[in-house]
Chains A and B, each alone.
Chain A
Amino acid sequence: MGKLNLNRTAMPKQDPRERVLNCNEVALGYTQEQAIMEAERCIQCKKPLCIEGCPVEIDIPAFIKLIAEGDFQGSIRKMKEKNVLPAICGRVCPQEEQCEKVCILEKKGAPIAIGRLERFIADWEAAQGAIEIPPSKPSTGRKVAVVGSGPAGLTVASDLVQLGHKVTMFEALHEPGGVLIYGIPEFRLPKAIVKREVEYVQKLGVELKLNAVIGKIATVDELLEEYDAVFIGTGAGLPWFMGIPGENLNGVYSANEYLTRANLMKAYRFPEFDTPIIKGNRVATIGGGNVAMDSARTALRLGAKESMVIYRRSRQEMPAREEEIENAEEEGVVFNFLTNPVAYHGDEQNWLREMECIRMELGEPDASGRRRPVPIEGSNYRTSIDVVVVAIGNSPNPLIPQTTPGLECSKWGNIKADEGTGKTSQRGVFAGGDIVTGAATVILAMGAGRKAANAIDEYLRTGIW
């Protein structure tokens, strides 16, 4: 092994001035040369920490080594042993909090760009046209119902079908993918990629039923009459509002609604697509997570002249990925830190006109370990605003808990499930992803899906609960 190479290969991106005028993907991905250059930096640790850092335990050094050797086919095969959605994970996983955080080169400030390489290898395969379908094990004759086709559901379904179980996946919306389709915008995760990965899961043998709302057409208990096990991955549901005056004015959106209109319903192409969205020159997004970044950047692409983020803590405490914050800054999103809305003011016709905010300061650390924001009395100010997007999180979707009496839930409505297995209080029923943890990340949901799949397989083989 030669000298350490600490030059992390940058990934080309669309110019910020250009990209706010379109909805195409911002990051453009590595060329083959760039990928090999980056892969060659990996020192192939004997005891790699990166694998432990990955919720689905991808054999990271192995797939990177194969890239460095130019064996892209071998690399994607290695990848898919553990992760069926690499094109998605390569784009939306917070690698800086996971695999890249524990990379030995991180200490030198230049961790291997694992996410970019993951994305590269997945995109390389797609560009080849023919996608390899790994052989499935012989049929076990067992049937599993997977409720929800988001990251958790897709992982459970593909793992179980490859183990020989018959899997039916139910999706309430008219397109599969859950948050990958309705939530994460095109410019961060092109929908063609989600489609491709879902098609791959279908090619593995998973049956997909769209427009099927479990809890309505069938309860979980009814599913158990037909299926040997049920996995619930229904994700986050009811959007939270702050409970301040004026939140039901015309022009105040939940981030779920704003992004669903823009992404799933393609309102940015109205009237070619039928669903409208309120555009507006001055748009404020409330919150500091990735969903807030997605909303603020969507506003720019819908033509907002000013898109601002209102966050009650400071930049340091923002839960959004650094990369997304930087992208938003580059595109001209204005950040108002240590600020919190206290009311929205409207006109006679119920239209939003002004936002009233209060300045905050950081006090003592709270339960989350972050310094608690405290309002500064008398610092209220009002500013004119056309659209507000409230991006402060969701509570779990209530449809299944309400219709499944045997299922224990927390007081917030999350389904209680064992962390290691996804087992719920009801025999044969497993759960994972945001419906259990509350809003988290794609990869954590996939990790929960992986663990649940293992536990479901064991349950189906042994019958032991």
Chain B
Amino acid sequence: MNKILKKLELAPGIKLFEVDVPEVAAKALPGHFVIVRNSDRGERIPLTIADTDKSRGVITLIFQEVGKSTLELGLFREGDNLPCVVGPLGKPSEIEKFGTVVCIGGGVGVAPIFPIIKGLKAAGNRVLSIIGARNKELLILENEVRMYSDETYVTTDDGSYGTKGFVCDQLGSLLTNETNIDRVVAIGPSIMMKAVAEMTRPYKIPTIVSLNSIMVDGTGMCGACRVEVGGETKFTCVDGPEFDGHLVDFEMLMKRLSMYSSQEKKALDDYKGKI
């Protein structure tokens, strides 16, 4: 159960697992996430499903090694079984024919935007994708995104590949040059999603973001993942993870994301000391 059929290192510190979980794969839709645990002492780690192969009963997970838990997760090898994969959780993305949709993925956020690109394309949309990373080395899934997008724009912060700059710069030129953008979907660091939402606001283009709140159970029981959307408290795990980007209180989201930063640092330091 939960066997890792394939493991790839997509970029330094960004890993891909194909996991054999037929029950999850059968029901997984773009936008869904799973919760993974490394061990019986492990945290419950929420990861958005990056791709699904229903015929093989396989889901793809892509994660960046940023803390102890994700570093430990990265040590699993092909053929290992993950102790726990729960899902598919959350509400799926709204996939229908909107017209022209701009899909934006920043950093490891390209992974969760990919199934949405694929879904939107299959639904008959004109998909304009913007993907970005700090540098060429860290850019992931470029070919996959190109395969399902009508146009693909690549940015790197340092200009080592594609256009130098941020995904938002590229969005800026699309907003000026494209007259009929019907929807924008953006997934990446909170600061990026916030910037995207601010840019599309004057154009009144519906803008969907996928939030990466801290979670524990992921099924609506604990409320760790509270976010404020349009002044109302929502639970990312059952009400989201996708919300109207124009209504999300990103400042609060970012501050809540840093709630455990000192413990996370300690866990990471202890772990690095051990290995």
Interface residues of A (CB under 8 A from B): 172-174, 182, 210-213, 216-218, 237-239, 241, 247-248, 250-251, 253-254, 256-257, 260-261, 265-266, 270-276, 278, 349-350, 397-399
Contacts and interface: CB of A to CB of B under 8 A. Distances in A.
Interface stretch (B160-168, B171-179, B254-262): B254-262
Given A237-B221, A239-B222, A350-B252, A248 B266 contact: no
B220 A398 contact: yes
**Interface size grouping (class) on chain B:** 35 or more
B222 to A, nearest CB: 4
B15 interface: no
B88 A216 contact: yes
B270 A271 contact: yes
A261 B263 contact: no
Interface in B210-255: 216-217, 219-224, 226-228, 233, 235, 238, 251-252, 255
B69 interface: yes
Contacts of B47: none
B23 interface: yes
Contacts of B84: 174, 210-211
Contact of A271 (B24, B44, B87, B266): B266
What is the predominant secondary structure among interface residues of chain A facing chain B? loop
B99 interface: no
Interface of B: 23-24, 26-27, 37-38, 41-44, 68-69, 83-89, 216-217, 219-224, 226-228, 233, 235, 238, 251-252, 255-256, 258-260, 263-264, 266-267, 270
B235 A238 contact: yes
A174 B228 contact: no
Given A261-B216, A398-B238, A216 B264 contact: no
Contacts of B267: 270-271, 274, 276
A278 B251 CA distance: 21
B89 to A, nearest CB: 6
B221 A238 contact: yes
A172 B219 contact: yes
A248 B220 contact: no
B263 A217 contact: no
Given A213-B89, A257-B216, A274 B69 contact: yes
A260 B221 contact: yes
6 contacts: A213-B87, A248-B227, A271-B266, A274-B41, A397-B221, A398-B238
Nearest to B83: A174
A182 B86 CA distance: 17
Given A274-B42, A275-B216, A256 B223 contact: yes
Contact of B228 (A182, A248, A251, A260): A248
A260 B42 contact: no
Nearest to B68: A274
A248 B260 contact: no
Given A211-B86, A213-B86, A265 B220 contact: no
Contacts of B260: 276, 278
Contacts of B37: 174
**Closest 9 pairs (CB-CB, A-B):** A350-B255, A276-B263, A257-B222, A254-B223, A274-B43, A211-B86, A250-B259, A217-B23, A273-B41
A66 B128 CA distance: 77
